[in-house]
Copies of this chain bind each other. A is one copy, B any other.
Amino acid sequence: MTGSVTVAGLGPGDAALVTPEVTQALSRATDVLGYVPYVARITPRDGLRLHPSDNREELARATHALEIAAAGGHAVIVSSGDPGVFAMASALFEALETWPGDRHPEIAILPGITAMLAAAARAGAPLGHDFCAINLSDNLKPFALVENRLRMAARGDFAMAFYNPRSKSRPHQFARVLDILREECGGDRLILFARAVTTPDEAIAVTTLAEATPEMADMRTVVLVGNSATRRVGRWVYTPRSAESAAG
C-alpha cells in the first residue's frame, strides 16, 4: 500500500482562485481533513471521506492524515490560502518528526493564493516592494517576539502584512500593535483592512495609522501596512518599485 498526504491551499475563498493542481489532488483524494470551514468548501462525492475538525487541532489532524496514508489512503489536508503561510504544512512536518513509522508516506505540499496577496491585488499593489508577513496571534509565541518583529520591520521600512490580527480572547493586543506602529512609522502611514477577501463578505478599508482603530480588524481580516513610500492613486494603493534613499 502506497498512500500519500497532500497539504493543499484552497486560496482565500473564490473557487476561481483554486489552482488546477489542487483541484486534481482533491479529485484523487480518499480523505479530506481540515478546519471545519475549509472542509465545508469541498464538494462531497462517493468514495470521499470528509474529516472536519476544530481549530487548534492541527497536530492531531496531521497525525490522522499520516495514519490514513500509512493504511494506503490518499489524504488531502486543506488549508485556506497557502498551506505554508501560518497553516497546516508546518503542522504536518511537526507531526512527521514524532511519527513512529520507519518509512515516511509520500508527501506533497501544493501552494495556494495566500490571503495577503489576494488582499494586495484587490487594493492595488501595496506589497510591491520588500515586505514582511507576521502572524499576530500569540497562541504559539510570546507577544514580546511580535513586538520586536514589528519594530524591526518598521526600522527596515518594510511593508507589512498581518494575519490573525485580532480575536475575542485577546482584544487589547491589536491596539498595542497599532500603538507600536504609530510610534515607529508615524500617523500618516497607510494601513489597509481587508476582510474576507474574494468572498461575498469582502470589505476593504484604507486609512492611516492615525485614524486606524482596533475594531477595524477581526479574525477574518488581513491587515496590510505600507512602507514610507506607499501612496494612493485614484481608488488604488500601491508601493513604488523604487526606493530613493536608505532607511534605517
Contacts and interface: CB of A to CB of B under 8 A. Distances in A.
Interface of A: 11, 14-21, 24, 58, 82-87, 89-94, 96-97, 104, 107, 109-114, 117-118, 120-122, 124-135, 140-142, 144-145, 148-149, 151-153, 155-158, 233-234, 236, 238-248
B18 A141 contact: no
A129 B86 CA distance: 6
A67 B149 CA distance: 43
Contact of A233 (B11, B93, B151, B244): B93
A202 to B, nearest CB: 14
Contact of A133 (B113, B130, B141, B148): B130
Contacts of A134: 130
A144 B245 CA distance: 8
Q: State the copy count for this chain.
A: 2
Contacts of A128: 84-87, 89-90, 93
A15 B20 CA distance: 8
Nearest to A132: B132
B156 A84 contact: no
A133 B135 contact: no
A22 B82 CA distance: 17
A109 B133 CA distance: 20
9 contacts: A58-B241, A84-B120, A86-B129, A90-B128, A132-B133, A132-B156, A148-B157, A148-B248, A152-B158
A247 B148 CA distance: 7
Nearest to A24: B16
Given A117-B82, A130-B132, A241-B86, A124 B149 contact: no
Contacts of A121: 82-84, 89, 109-111
Contacts of A91: 241
Contacts of A239: 90
A41 to B, nearest CB: 15
Nearest to A87: B128
B90 A129 contact: yes
Contacts of A93: 124-125, 128, 233, 236, 238
Given A20-B18, A111-B113, A133-B130, A141 B96 contact: no
Contact of A152 (B104, B140, B156): B156
B111 A118 contact: yes
Contacts of A122: 109
